[in-house]
Amino acid sequence: MRKLKGIAFAIAEAIDQEMARNDRIVVLGEDVTYWGAVFGFTMGLFNKYGRDRIVDTPITEQTFMGMAVGAASVGMHPVVSLMFVDFCGAGFDQMFNHMAKNHYMSGGQFPMPVTVITAIGGGYGDAAQHSQVLYGMFAHLPGFKIVVPSTAYDAKGLTISALRDQNPVIIFGHKLLTGLPFLPFEGEEEEVPEEPYTVEFGRAAVRREGRDLTIIAAGLMVPRSLKAAEMLAREGISAEVIDLRTLVPLDEATLVESARKTGRVLIVDEDYMSYGMTGEVAFRVQAGALGSLKAPIRRLAVPDVPLESAVIPSTQRIYEAARSLVGAGAAA
């Protein structure tokens, strides 16, 4: 065990260990060689594996997503670095119509073992075309598994699980959790095993036990929710914080169990409010825990405008929403 600061180092280490174990894994994308991808997800790999397995591509998402589909079709396991999730539109056809569907449409003859790693989130002034989250859009489409790590430990284990999966997996890494020196860091340095290990898809983590309400979050919203829970604790309010880890598959059982215990639920998301993760999770929770709820489920997400700090849920806004939910429930 040794301490790692941020998910970027953990993801890069996971890819390295799996490349050493499996020579079918190759890395594609923009700036994946010398830069190690802009947000560090492939750092150090080029010096170790060279151009045969770490391939810089032109700035054309349609092309390198297509390369990944083709490589997966003939038995390779491509790891694709999509620099910003906001750029996914340039590769939509290959991702939505081929990567996600070819396994189904071929009757299982062509599995799509592709791992896409992309950077998400705002909060540091990169503007509306570089700061979105958008995982709800990919979770909506059957075929993809959706991974959103909030800790270095999970980032390594979930990445290794992705690299051993025969399905297309998209890993959404928040920039403010990477631990890179040129970005603010809102995570925690933590102990991570040096040896390879996996973290199971579809198993949420209860990051903090509580009795008065449940806060459900993913990515950057997890550490912010934990800080909000500390603020609530100073007022005698006990908040349970659940880290989804994966949106697809979703650990519905853990969410429902917590909602039945606390009776109040706040779902926090950095993605857009409409037709997103908060609505899907809210429906599943109320379907399983309706009789136990003491107040309507509340959602805190980004309004349907492409801005940054003015709309992204902050620790203070999470605290205020949670505090008012407990107040509303107590009054009822």
In this structure, the answer to whether residues 174 and 271 fall within a common structural domain is no
Q: Where does a domain end: 192, 222, 250?
A: 192
Q: Where does a domain end: 144, 171, 192?
A: 192
Q: For the domain that residue 18 is a member of, what is the CATH number? A: 3.40.50.970
> By residue range, what is the domain housing residue 44?
2-192
Structure tokens at 202: 């579809």
Question: Taking 80 as the threshold, does the pLDDT of residue 331 lie above it?
Answer: no
In this structure, the answer to whether residues 42 and 159 fall within a common structural domain is yes
> Is 103 annotated as catalytic?
no
**Per-residue pLDDT averaged across 235-254, rounded?**
98
In this structure, the answer to whether residues 174 and 213 fall within a common structural domain is no
In this structure, the answer to whether residues 144 and 59 fall within a common structural domain is yes
Using one digit for the tens of pLDDT, what is the confidence trace for 296-309? 999 999 998 876 77
In this structure, the answer to whether residues 164 and 303 fall within a common structural domain is no
Between CA 117 and CA 101 the distance in angstroms is: 19
Question: Taking 70 as the threshold, does the pLDDT of residue 43 lie above it?
Answer: yes
Between CA 226 and CA 278 the distance in angstroms is: 18
110-142 burial: b if 16+ Cβ within 10 Å, else e: bbbbbbbbbbbbbbeebeeebbbbbbbbbbeee
In a domain, 198, yes or no: no
Q: Where does a domain end: 192, 223, 249?
A: 192
In this structure, the answer to whether residues 155 and 223 fall within a common structural domain is no
Q: How confident is the model at residue 328 (pLDDT cuts 50, 70, 90)?
A: low
Residue 116's pLDDT is 98
In this structure, the answer to whether residues 175 and 219 fall within a common structural domain is no
Of 6, 272, 306, the residue nearest 130 (C-alpha) = 306
Question: Taking 50 as the threshold, does the pLDDT of residue 332 lie above it?
Answer: no
In a domain, 199, yes or no: no
Using one digit for the tens of pLDDT, what is the confidence trace for 88-116? 999 999 999 999 999 999 998 999 999 99
Q: Which of 98, 103, 130, 174 is catalytic?
A: 130
In a domain, 197, yes or no: no
Of 47, 39, 58, the residue nearest 16 (C-alpha) = 47
In this structure, the answer to whether residues 144 and 232 fall within a common structural domain is no
In a domain, 200, yes or no: no
Between CA 59 and CA 82 the distance in angstroms is: 10
In this structure, the answer to whether residues 149 and 244 fall within a common structural domain is no
Question: Taking 60 as the threshold, does the pLDDT of residue 162 lie above it?
Answer: yes
Specify the number of domains making up the chain: 2
